[in-house]
Structure 1
Amino acid sequence: MSPILSLNSITKSFASKKIIDHLSLDIQAGEFVSILGPSGSGKSTLFHLIGGIYNPDEGEILLDGSQINGQRGSISYMPQSPSLLPWRTVLQNVLLGQELQGKKDVETARKMIEKAGLAGYTNAYPSQLSGGMKQRVSFIRALLSPQPVICLDEPFSALDELTRLDMQKWLLSIWDEHKKTILFVTHNIDEALFMSDRIVIISANPASITEEFILPFSRPRHKELLLTDEFLAWKRKIFFALRK
């Protein structure tokens, strides 16, 4: 099966400093892949390359077999902060990605808002929402956008531990239903293990892939998984892989 997203020997430098060095990675359709690496290792730069904000110095990025180097709008992106437009309601924010592509499915948007537990907030503005609620709106917007791949850049890093776990479980429940391809950046080993099909470890600058792990945990995932011996054994394995 051909991958939906391929990074082929990607290299990127800024001011003569090499940030990413001949990095190659294939992502299959419907796969949930997490990228783990040290702070400042180029994870966000990688997303900017995939999103077309930057052009790679070398290599190519393929989406469904077509090169998208420097091409914006090919993937859906959810940043660390919700980045909701304060003058738009929840419904209007959710529909933004579709509107930019000339589409608008209000009925589906309303159903997803309701499933996210936000039925009473359809016409509310971001200032009226909690941090977790804003993140749900941001993810629904990314999920409803027509692009086949979603890049999530540490979307839960600002949330407290309990809210973060609730958001992880909610995101997985939505993802299990829609099975969009997700590339996820996080610093949190537990989060990567709990959510992913595969974990990719990248080195410090310049970033390159050092190890990949296919996880054995069945889906759907439940919070009790975090306390099992198998989960803790995998946590140790990933921890030591990051320290190499």
Structure 2
Amino acid sequence: MGKLQVNNLDKAFGAKSVLENVTFSVDEGEFVSLLGPSGSGKSTLFHLIGGISTPDTGEIYLDGKQINGKSGAISYTPQSPSLLPWRTILQNVLLGAELHGEKNEKEAVKMIRRAGLAGYENAYPHQLSGGMKQRAAFVRSLLSPQSIICLDEPFSALDEFTRLEMQQWLLKIWNEHKKSILFVTHNLEEAIYLSDRIIVLSTNPATVKKEFNIPFTRPRDERILLSEEFLQWKKVIYQELKNY
């Protein structure tokens, strides 16, 4: 499972309207990216989906059940890895599962090793690089029982080479587990490379301007980043982004 449906969301803070009539969906096992300018309400949208706050109007459904204002329905990975410094990497990746009473150390150790973190199970976050911390944070999301993962610009602080390496790793692991992913990024190439579908948001108040279905087959090969077809998609979506 993991079908998310967002219907006609409105959200304002005082006199400032942030979201206006936002409607979109994420199908089971689908990878969907949200693109929009800074301050367009993407983080607010994640807070609404995660139940941290409630919309003024509109509904959010997960697998047919309304989740307005209900926390714990999604797994959320913010821009920074947010690993607890006093817990080991193993203890950190188990946190989400622990909170739901589903702790499985054997599976956690297996996933840590699959993430290229073998030997770091008992290390602490300050002993890991930025990319390693992000891998641990994503493993934590995968081990949590929720069927949909929301990723808020998880690679924005990484250098270009580490970022591409993390994108490739994310696709490999996601392809095996097929959880639904809603991914926020400002990076157009990243959105095209990772996604099944891209949703373009307007500036404030944010609304859905356009959706693009990305046709590249999976598994994705990094060579498509240099292809003519990739460049054409980049041009088309860039033109849409220019017209905020």
TM-score by length of 1: 0.98
**1:94 corresponds to which letter in structure 2?**
V
1:25, 1:177 → 2: CA distance? Answer: 25
Unaligned runs of 5+ in 1: none
Pairwise CA distance, 1:102: 1.1
Q: 1:121 to 1:3 in 2, by over 3 A?
A: closer
User: Which residue does 1:142 correspond to in 2?
Assistant: 141
1:158, 1:98 → 2: CA distance? Answer: 26
2:2, 2:96 → 1: CA distance? Answer: 24
- State the Cα deviation string for residues 31-87 of structure 1 (Å, max 9, x = none): 000000011000010000000011000001011111110100000000000000000
1:117, 1:58 → 2: CA distance? Answer: 44
Q: 1:230 to 1:136 in 2, by over 3 A?
A: same
Unaligned runs of 5+ in 2: none
1:225, 1:104 → 2: CA distance? Answer: 39
Moved beyond 4 Å, runs of 4+: none
1:205, 1:36 → 2: CA distance? Answer: 13
User: Which residue does 1:230 correspond to in 2?
Assistant: 229
Q: 1:131 to 1:41 in 2, by over 3 A?
A: same
- State the Cα deviation string for residues 193-236 of structure 1 (Å, max 9, x = none): 00000000000000000000001100111111100000000000
1:132, 1:26 → 2: CA distance? Answer: 30
User: Which residue does 2:31 correspond to in 1?
Assistant: 32
User: Which residue does 2:8 correspond to in 1?
Assistant: 9
2:4, 2:90 → 1: CA distance? Answer: 30
1:84, 1:46 → 2: CA distance? Answer: 23
User: Which residue does 1:92 correspond to in 2?
Assistant: 91
Q: 1:3 to 1:163 in 2, by over 3 A?
A: closer
Q: Does 1:21 align with 2:20?
A: yes
Alignment of 1:62-73 (within 5 A): 62-73=61-72
SS of the aligned residue for 2:17 comes to: strand
User: Which residue does 1:169 correspond to in 2?
Assistant: 168
Alignment of 1:101-112 (within 5 A): 101-112=100-111
Q: Does 1:183 align with 2:187?
A: no
SS of the aligned residue for 2:119 comes to: helix
CA RMSD of aligned residues (A): 0.9
**1:159 corresponds to which letter in structure 2?**
L
2:2, 2:159 → 1: CA distance? Answer: 35
User: Which residue does 2:207 correspond to in 1?
Assistant: 208
Over the matched positions of the two proteins, sequence identity in percent amounts to 64
SS of the aligned residue for 1:8 comes to: strand
Residues 97 and 103 of structure 2 are in contact (CA less than 8 Å); yes or no, is this contact kept in structure 1? yes
User: Which residue does 2:156 correspond to in 1?
Assistant: 157
- State the Cα deviation string for residues 109-151 of structure 1 (Å, max 9, x = none): 1111001111110000001000000000000001110001100
Q: Does 1:242 align with 2:238?
A: no
**Range with greater deviation from structure 2 (177-186 or 105-114):** 105-114
Pairwise CA distance, 1:104: 0.4
Q: Does 1:199 align with 2:198?
A: yes
- State the Cα deviation string for residues 162-191 of structure 1 (Å, max 9, x = none): 000000000000000000000000000000
User: Which residue does 1:59 correspond to in 2?
Assistant: 58
Residues 3 and 26 of structure 1 are in contact (CA less than 8 Å); yes or no, is this contact kept in structure 2? no
Pairwise CA distance, 1:16: 1.5
2:101, 2:174 → 1: CA distance? Answer: 24
Q: 1:3 to 1:107 in 2, by over 3 A?
A: closer
1:89, 1:222 → 2: CA distance? Answer: 34
